[in-house]
Amino acid sequence: MRRKLAAGNWKMNGTGPALAELESLAHTFPDPSVDILICPPATLLHRASQTVHHTGIAVGGQDCHAATSGAHTGDLSAEMLKDTGANSVILGHSERREDHGEQNEDVRAKARTAMDAGLTTIICVGESLEQREAANTLDIIGGQMSGSIPDQSTGENLVVAYEPIWAIGTGKVPTLEEIGEVHDFMRARLERRFGEGVGRSVRLLYGGSVKPSNAAEIFGVSNVDGALVGGASLKAEDFSGIIRALEGA
């Protein structure tokens, strides 16, 4: 059985006072029946880890470098993330692919280093609106998966997040059929590449305008094992609604 995962991506939002949201989450879910992960900005990682220490909530980074150390001003290594108390890292988010020109090979190299460091990697894939309208969605997702996911992946160190670019921060969400089609396709790809055992154990998240009001129906879709949430993860109250929907799924 795959353990469900509610992951929050705070992106470039939050300073010290935002830690109160984590305290509130920990208070609301003293013994969560699903995995809860918050990925705050790197400046908050250490304090966030301390805040959720001994609770059912984990913290993760939003990116890391492919090298283990060296002359890379402004970058962070996977070991450094671990050192803050993080157990996971989001890699290949469409905003990194777009803002920093990250290609599939870059994401794969980062994922290798992150897995070697013992981090769980959440690798993001997703099509643009143009690609969807041209009926290229599955080709794009398939290509991103083969290019970005390293060979050493297992059900423990890999999570794949399907985030259609046009659904991120827009309030637009694919139909449940569209989400199901992509998630079933991703499951089949993983099973073909890694075998049934590993392929079936990797968790698949949906991300893009997930809210308390639409979470339950999304969590009812086949092969959706949780969500990667942006805006609605910033406030404990909103994220709690999503976690509750996942606990009930």
Spatial CB neighbours of 87, under 8 Å, sequence gap ≥ 6: 58, 59, 60, 119, 120
Q: Shortest Cβ distance from residue 166 to ligand 13P (Å)?
A: 10
Nearest-angstrom CA–CA distance, 115 and 224: 23
The secondary structure of 12-81 as a DSSP string is: T---GGGHHHHHHHHHH-SS-SSEEEEE--GGGHHHHHHHTTTSSEEEEES---SSSSSS-TT---HHHH
Residue nearest ligand 13P (C-beta atom): 230
Active site residues: 93, 163
Q: Shortest Cβ distance from residue 210 to ligand 13P (Å)?
A: 5
Q: Shortest Cβ distance from residue 89 to ligand 13P (Å)?
A: 13
Looking at the Cβ atoms of 91 and 168, the one nearer to ligand 13P is 168
Looking at the Cβ atoms of 153 and 209, the one nearer to ligand 13P is 209
> What does the binding site for ligand 13P look like in residue numbers (CB under 6 A)?
9, 93, 163, 168-169, 207-210, 228-232
Looking at the Cβ atoms of 180 and 230, the one nearer to ligand 13P is 230
Nearest-angstrom CA–CA distance, 38 and 50: 13
